Structure 1
Amino acid sequence: MLKKPILFWIFLMTIQVGSFGQPDTNASYQSDTMRVNRYIEHCGKILFFYPDSSLKYVDTILQLSKKTNYQYGLVKAYNLKGILSYVNKEPDEALKNYRIALKYAETTEPPRLKALVLGNMGLVFKTTYQHDSVVTYLNKTIQYCEIHDIPDILSKAYLDLGTHYSNRGNYVEAAQNLMKSREIMTSVNDSMQLVYVYNSFGYLYMKLNKFDEALYNLKKAIEIDQLVQKVNILANTYINLGELYFHTKKDYDSALYYYERAVETAIPHEKDQIQMVLSFTKGNIFAEKKELDSTILYYQKVLSDPLLEKYPDREAGLRVNMGGYYLYIKDVKNARYFLDSGYKLSDSLGIMVFKKNALMALSELDSLLGNFKGSLAYYKQYKIISDSLVLAEARNQMAVLEFEKDLAQQKYDNHLLLEQNSLKSKQILNQRNMIYLSLLASILLVVFIYLLYYNRGRIKKLNMQLSVKHHDLTLINEELQVTNETLNTQQDQLKALNNSKDKFFSILGHDLKSPFNSLLGLLDLLVQQWDIIEDKEKREMIQSLYTSSEITYQLLEEILSWGKAQQGLIKCQPANFNVVQKVRLVTDLFKSQLKEKNQQLRIELSPEMQLHTDSRLFSQVIQNLMNNSIKYTPHGGTIIIDSKSTSEEISVCVSDTGIGIPEDKISHIFNLDCDFNRPGTDNEKSTGMGLILSKEFAEIMGARLTATSIDEKGSSFCLSFRKK
């Protein structure tokens, strides 16, 4: 195993002696430039495997290029020096070399030299968290490549820009750029670059919590990588697979397996930093399992790794996690140190998730120490960041929905265009057939006139043939009518989807805006008149703020759940369970509300009653129906949960003696476009999303949700399951 490196060094020394051992007068310009080109080609092959050895080649390339004023060699030398600095996590040195390379590339052919340098500069700015510069330089690369027709670097720039947007959480822009990259790579049949595209799509789908799509793309990247054998990102792909199983499935064994595979397949200069990632992940896994001794063992191992200072984002996350560990074991001194340092580093890098986690832990730490004022201050900062992240995620999810809707529209338009082309082709064929038939009829007519008295039988036969052709044309026209009716039906469905989307955005714009106006008004009043307002009024206002925030959060949860159901992200996971046990777990959540309104709850279910469906979705539907009954039943009323059975179905029903639902509204309460949102008997607020969401969950379980009501006398909602 040791012989190959020794032979390599001997070979390298021989090259260097040959390069500098001869007098300058014996080396022509042509031989020097040919030698530089050979060194450039060889350096490109070993750069990522033996970066230290590559540096010696780069120095030789630079010296020979300077001696002969070889502009191409100078661009390549400084570009390679920039890559080596980038690999060694020295971004400032990398940018310095790239700027020199860019200066030489401005006046050097071919144009792809400048494109390469611009793209590399964009990648370096990613490591220094200068996000605007990343976008600027990659867009410069794209514009330059489009002008000079450089498809391979153009596709790479779109790929890098898409990956950057994925890391920043801008999933729509990420998908758009990755799709452009994939389109270009497919057109030029670039299998090597397709590995990177599939890997990036896998990472994007992982961010969107789409496990199956992410797994498919990452497996596809590995498949192509192993076939091409010229791409060296297997380790990166295995890391993404580990992240996918860890964060999406909480499958720790699979996550560790893929992280170990990443270490095994890593190229030499990446192995140490991937080993560090593996240690960090093991610490996180043990933290999830509450195995504290193993957690701190791996965290300390990462903290002492000299490579950590080159990855400030990982150091920020590590310090926040260690602060959380020490807070958990009540080591307040170490908890304070690591949480403060983790927060400051996260703040300098603009990593909002780490900042949020650090602020929440600092709030708990001050609360533990009795510093409730400091705890409240940290919690307010945490709440601001948390709310901004939730809103940003909601906006992003809506943008993704809009993007997917546009994709669906494009597919529909393409399908419609294909149908139209098919119809035109059939019309042309029919017209051609009609021409042929007309021509044949004319010929036959002449023959008919000529042989009028000799060929009567032939005339009858031809008439029959014409009848058959006419019948065929009739069938074709009927098929065209059916196709047109299908297209009209699809167009109506698309209009219905657009109407649902408009109503959805209307709910967001009205029902989310109103609570926030209330929150802002109360908060402004507290800020402006804190010293004037009595303590009792302050408590009432803070309680009002809490209630409004809780309602707003519940609405947002319901809207996001509805969005997930619409996308098919919520799957039914059926299993047998005892109905009474599940119902009692739900009703226990409403004990205080039932007591407050002096309402009587009667559960009239058989203790042995079993169902085979998704218990989580079943419980959510019962919870929504209970909440609805309590809200619209007056003080002293009665709520009954019982079952009904027929030969085909078994139902669980929630009935009440509340105010009921008007007859003209009962058929619309499960529709998104229903505007019947009245307050409860104690003026409780309602958006109607609970019933809409319950209807969605019922359909996911394969059940029916029905409602019957008598105005001012009460309502009954039944969740019905077909008997097996």
Structure 2
Amino acid sequence: MKKYLFFIYILALPYFGYSQQASLDSLRAIAAEQLSTEARYAYYKELGRQAEKLRQFEEAFFAYEQGEQLSSALEDWSELVGFISLRGQLLLDREQLLKAMQAFEDAIRLMRDKVSQEEINNYIYIDIGNLYYKRGYGEEAKRYYQYALAGFERQEDVSGISLAYRNLALIYKRLKMADSMFVVLDRSAPYIQEDQLLEQFNLLTYYGFAHHLEEAYDKAVDYAKRALVLAQEHAEQIGPQIGLAHLNLAVYLERDSNYLASVAHYDSALIYLPIKDFILINKASALLRAQNIEAAMNIVRRLDQQERLQAMQENERRKAWEVFMRAYEASKQPQQALFYAKVYNQYLQDRKQAPNMLKELEIGQAAISLKKDIELREQEAELRYEQALREEKEAYNRLYLSALVALLLLLFFLFWLYKQLAKNRSLLRESYAKLQQYSKNQDQLYAILAHDLRRPFGQLLQANQTLAQAVLGSSWQKWGQQAEESAQKLYFLFEELLAWIKQQRGGIRPQLQLHKWEQLQRDLLAPLQLQLADKQISLVVQAPSQAEIYTDAYLLQTILRNLMSNAIRFSPEKGQIRLSLVAKQEGFCLVIQDEGEGLSEEALAHFFEQQSSGNSGLGLSLVQSFVQLLGGKISVESQNGLLISIFLPQEEMGTFAAQQSEQRQFGQAPSVQQLTAASGLRKELEALNAYEVGRLYQLRQEQAADGPIYQALNRLLQLQYQAKTADFEAEKQQLIARLMA
């Protein structure tokens, strides 16, 4: 009695008002050990099916394995075959084809060895045929469907016979054999019962397929409409088939040139079916045939994405390429149309080679399936297996030989590459040695210029200054001033040459300090007095009172000295030069205006370029480089002469000014570098007299990094230019005393 109650519960469970999850929970609550053997079989089968519906596959596998263990322990071979088949079907649904094939082979082996003909489960042949059908091996699938049909006819299983005929119809549909489809469909029709609504729907659908293969589209449309009406009238039982019916009807209507009706059914199919992209492709094709290009292009733009195309199956991509090509061509976009035409043609060329590839795959699959076929003799299977092993061994031998040849070629290439690299390394070493020697020669040249030639030039300037002072007030005064001016120009030219060499070697780093403009102005104008007096040029200087500039005094004075010398050179006698300092929001602007003839636009464009001849030379080339080192900008215009503007930024000037105000007192404790150099500097100052301008200028350049000493030497240099010998000696002694402190 307990067994029958459980069977009634199992049969009635799907019709209760519980959800599928509730049904599964109810089954879990049952204690299987307390049931009879037959009830436990039914329990494990129902538990696995309910778990499959809820996609809880691990629990489904566990249920079927429990059934296998029970039936194996009781040696109930028919039930064992059934549970193995259920497990194989679950593996097949999850696309684990090799494991599914192994399960079905185990079931067939059990049926052959343990089960009588009357108890054989012919649905296993259907499952194996489905597996081959999914893999694309139509002939193998057809063979197993025929095995199943013969078994169902022996057992007079009406549902099985109908199922076998339907699957055979699918095979003939794939092979495009319409006549064979009609034969098997006509044979299956008598076996379909009135309450088998899904079987009736499939029969109408397959008849439509068959007429579609014969291009009898009006009949195909008629069968598709009948299938749609059947699905709509029984929506509760076969409602999910409504979308398929709409899709089939849309395809047949499009083939029958009824494009607008076809588009409407495509829209209906979109509501029911998840294959949205495939339906949209076919809808776009129908819209193109209906000359509704704009609507078709809207769909094409949505689908013309690499990610969506990759997600499609091969036949869907082929259809998409064809539709894209037609749509872009109709919308007059030839480049896109040509692109997809090439893609589609490449696909067709690849398909031409496919039959040979498929033939090889079929031969290989035939060898495997024949080995596994239940009707094949064991001796024949062993012979084929040995043949396959021999072929595999030969293939491995060819592979090893090819790999050996490739390895030898690779070794030869690596040896040649090593030789080339060794040769290149030798050339690089030679080039590097030459470059090092060249750099060493440059350093030696700079050392000679900086240390061996600077003192003679300074002594020459000092001698000419002494000469000019000696002939002052005599008839030789003019010649003495010219000699002093020439020596001064020569000394400054030599300093500029050293600066240019150092700048080319990347050795100049700005030493930014806060300087008073008045002091910078005096240091700048002192060497230029002779040139200004020689041409009787008046110099007008305009600057804010107490102006201070955050800059490198040496670089700025070099810039202004070259520009002022250039302005004096090209100004007429008794002319005027204006030097202006204008405060801006983010810095200062220095403007130099002369009254010369100016320059043409072409000459202005090459003003700062170093030339071997002409008016532009080393000094102006240094001007532009030094302005860039100070982070500034320089521009040249021709306005009633030459107008040169220099903008110097004054970043963080307030912070530096506060620090500089504390360091400006010379009596502050000197740095370690100052203490190291103080002794040598003091000896130089003690030996210095009021006429040694060149040596004093050299000392100032050497102390450019030390702000307080640099300012003190600047004051001494100014007193030298002003010929204030007494003040010079007093200031010098004061500086020596501070250095000693």
Find the structure with the greater CA-based Rg.
2
Shared fold, TM over 0.5? no
Q: TM-score, normalised by structure 1?
A: 0.42
